[in-house]
């Protein structure tokens, strides 16, 4: 009895806790849950959110224009390239594939209000002026950029310095009248709508797919090829180059300041959506989509994320407002505290108060010692039945328990005794465990010598059973794979050291 009472149960193998790989940004963007998944018949070429609440959005896929949250979908007379809302959300403007007209129509009544004629080819980019509601800038495959007066349906200024298709543009929020456009001629040109000439020129060295001004107006992001370049507009120099994508980057988006702060989103033909911290331009989150991404937009409130792919998949993810939920909870708690009933001695509940109260920090708590329950392998070790203790640990299928029992057997010098006289089925279970975990860095220091001991002790049993031969072959293959992996990693480490030394010198 004294030996039984002094026996210390075998504890699980304690390993260092792995660091949580999820950062604050990853947790924030993972809260975007998929709510809408729509299969369009054609590739989704444009997604644009309404600037005003409740932030409806429009989607273009060939001749189909879909309004999310508005129960309507209709087809235009011509294929559409680009849609955008007016800053007040009342009107929608569309650029046509033919380039002969640009249609302005009411988002509610769908009535065509204006037709802007002048481009001879497809209009790939259109955008309302943020400073007023009367002017529009457009870029076309006819290599021209035009500044339109919507009321008169005429082009006030024509910019014709690009030598290839104009596919993107952006408005400078800090300087009204200043715009930039990107073209397939590898250049980004800055325009002043008061003149007919460009005021600045930037060379991206790749066909431009999207450009985006930062809110300060002094930084500009350009996407072309698989690179995103961040420019200092005043100095005309590249600050940094983001080469995190494998294929062409199609869309750029800057989130508005919110719970996640300002982040730069990039979408590419490699199917990846990546989020960059604008402080150091490092990737803080990435999401994979099932096809090449052609269109992407985020609502101004940063609660909805819409992505369109070349296969016609439209994915919309929405995030619940955590702040509003917390405010509602706090309001309920405050109201509950104000309406709390005051108990008096005339009330029976007065004598029951405190029964459910929790202990305060100043209270002294007397803890009760709980007797640890012994597991089956502990009882068997207590009786020196080493073989049965090992089998009981293997039956738990918990590697931490098995490793702890093997360590205890090694300390007691009973490992060889435990491996002796094992039946064929018991040996198969042991070999299967070794095959699965012998290459794990957590357990290899103990399991490799244990595997050697198994082969030394049970070598005669392997020749008598075909199933044991198969298990030994599997174990051999697992060890060979680990050896090849270690050799490859060492070769890779040598190459990295060579590159580092070359970079230093």
Domain that holds residue 419: 376-504
| Helix runs in 215-264, H state only | none
- Co-location of 390 and 295 in the same domain: no
Partnered with residue 191 across adjacent β-strands are 179, 198
Tell which residue, 283, 285, 313, 316, has the closest CA to residue 299: 316
Quick one: CA dihedral 150, 154, 159, 162, positive or negative?
positive
* DSSP 3-state of 386: helix
Distance CA 107, CA 56 (A): 10
- The helix or strand, by DSSP H or E, that contains position 290, with its residue range, turns out to be none
| DSSP 8-state assignment for residue 261 | -
The reported pLDDT for the residue numbered 439 is: 87
Establish if 92 belongs to a structural domain: yes
Residues in CB range of 323: below 8 A, 6 or more apart: 259
Do 99 and 228 fall into the same domain? yes
Residue 254 maps to a domain: yes
Q: Judging by DSSP bridges, how do beta strands 33-39 and 46-49 pair with one another?
A: unpaired
Same domain, 303 and 383: no
Q: CA-CA distances (angstroms) from residue 25 to 22, 54, 266, 328, 445? A: 8, 24, 15, 24, 37
- pLDDT tens sequence across 364-408: 777 766 666 777 888 888 888 888 888 888 888 888 888 888 888
- Identify whether 313 is part of a domain: yes
CA distance 74 to 89: 19
345 Cβ neighbours under 8 A, 6+ residues apart: none
In a domain, 417, yes or no: yes
Predicted pLDDT of residue 4: 59
Domain identity same for 165 and 258? yes
Please measure the distance between the N-terminal and C-terminal CA atoms of the chain and give it in whole angstroms: 72
Whether residues 280 and 381 fall in one domain: no
- 418 with 311, same domain: the answer is no
Pair 245, 204: CB distance under 8 Å:
no
Q: How far apart are CA 169 and CA 208, in angstroms?
A: 10
Q: Are residues 315 and 431 in the same domain?
A: no
- Helical residues (DSSP H) of 7-161, grouped into ranges: 24-30
The domain boundary residue, chosen from 319, 341, 360: 319
Residue 230, domain member (yes or no): yes
Cβ-contact 186, 206 below 8 angstroms: yes
Say how many C-beta atoms besides its own lie within 10 A of residue 480's C-beta: 10
pLDDT less than 50: residues of the chain: 1, 70-77, 322-323, 326, 332, 334-338
pLDDT at 123: 87
Q: Would residue 266 count as lying in a domain?
A: yes
Give me the torsion for CA of 397, 403, 406, 410, rounded to 10°.
180
301 and 219 belong to one structural domain: yes
Is 369 domain-assigned? no
Same domain, 198 and 270: yes
In the chain, the number of structural domains is 2
Instruction: Kindly state whether residues 394 and 292 are assigned to the same domain.
Output: no
Q: Is 401 helix (H, G, I), strand (E, B) or coil?
A: helix
Strand partners, 155: 148
In the 8-state DSSP scheme, what is residue 405?
H
Secondary structure of 344-362 as H, E, C letters? CCCCHHHHHCCCCCCCCCC
Helices 386-395 and 424-437 cross at an angle (nearest 10°) of 60
Q: Determine, yes or no, domain membership for 144.
A: yes
Query: For residue 229, what pLDDT is reported?
Result: 93
Query: What confidence score (pLDDT) does residue 223 get?
Result: 93
Note if the pTM is more than 0.75.
Answer: no
* Domain shared by 281 and 406, yes or no: no
**What is the rounded distance in angstroms from the CA atom of residue 298 to the CA atom of residue 318?**
10
How many Cβ atoms from other residues are within 10 Å of residue 135's Cβ?
17
- Final residue before a domain boundary, out of 287, 319, 351: 319
Integer Cα distance of 232 and 173 in angstroms: 15
Containing 69, the helix (H) or strand (E) segment is none
Instruction: Give the pLDDT score at 198.
Output: 86
264 and 383 belong to one structural domain: no
Specify the pLDDT at position 77.
43
CATH, residue 262: 2.130.10.10
């Amino acid at each position: 009895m004294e030996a039984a009472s002094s026996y210390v149960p075998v504890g699980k193998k304690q390993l260092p806790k792995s660091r949580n790989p999820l950062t604050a940004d990853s947790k924030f963007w993972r809260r975007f849950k998929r709510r809408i998944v729509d299969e369009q018949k054609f590739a989704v070429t444009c997604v644009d959110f309404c600037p005003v609440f409740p932030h409806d959005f429009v989607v273009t896929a060939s001749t189909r224009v879909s309004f999310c949250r508005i129960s309507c979908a209709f087809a235009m007379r011509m294929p559409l390239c680009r849609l955008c809302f007016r800053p007040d959300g009342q009107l929608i403007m569309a650029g046509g594939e033919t380039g002969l007209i640009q249609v302005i129509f009411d988002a509610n009544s769908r009535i065509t209000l204006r037709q802007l004629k002048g481009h001879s080819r497809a209009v790939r980019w259109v955008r309302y002026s943020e400073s007023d509601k009367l002017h529009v800038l457009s870029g076309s495959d006819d290599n021209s950029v035009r500044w339109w007066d919507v009321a008169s349906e005429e082009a006030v200024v024509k910019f014709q310095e690009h030598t290839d298709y104009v596919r993107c543009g952006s408005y400078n929020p800090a300087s009204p009248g200043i715009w930039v456009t990107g073209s397939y001629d590898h250049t980004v040109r800055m325009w002043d709508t008061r003149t007919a000439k460009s005021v600045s020129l930037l060379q991206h060295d790749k066909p431009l797919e999207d450009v985006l001004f930062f809110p300060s107006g002094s930084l500009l992001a350009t996407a072309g090829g698989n690179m995103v370049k961040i420019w200092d507009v005043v100095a005309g120099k590249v600050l940094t180059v983001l080469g995190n994508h494998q294929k062409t980057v199609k869309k750029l988006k800057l989130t508005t300041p919110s719970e996640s702060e300002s982040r730069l989103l990039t979408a590419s033909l490699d199917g990846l959506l990546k989020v960059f911290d604008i402080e150091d331009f490092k990737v803080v989150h990435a999401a994979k989509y099932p096809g090449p991404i052609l269109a992407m937009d985020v609502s101004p409130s940063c609660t909805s994320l819409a992505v369109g792919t070349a296969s016609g998949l439209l994915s919309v993810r929405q995030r619940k407002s955590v702040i509003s939920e917390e405010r509602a909870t706090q309001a309920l708690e405050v109201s509950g505290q104000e309406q709390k009933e005051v108990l008096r001695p005339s009330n029976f509940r007065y004598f029951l108060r405190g029964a459910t109260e929790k202990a305060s920090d100043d209270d002294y708590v007397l803890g009760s010692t709980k007797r640890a329950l012994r597991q089956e392998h502990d009882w068997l070790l207590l009786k020196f039945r080493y073989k049965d203790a090992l089998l009981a640990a293997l039956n738990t299928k918990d590697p931490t328990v098995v490793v702890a029992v093997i360590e205890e057997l090694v300390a007691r010098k009973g490992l060889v005794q435990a491996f002796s006289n094992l039946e064929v089925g018991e040996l198969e279970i042991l070999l299967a465990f070794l095959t699965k975990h012998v290459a794990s860095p957590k357990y290899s220091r103990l399991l490799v010598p244990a595997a050697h001991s198994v082969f030394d002790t049970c070598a005669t049993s392997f020749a008598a059973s075909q199933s044991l031969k198969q298990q030994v072959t599997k174990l051999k293959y697992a060890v060979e794979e680990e050896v090849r992996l270690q050799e490859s990693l060492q070769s890779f480490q040598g190459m990295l050291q060579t590159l580092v030394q070359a970079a230093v010198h």
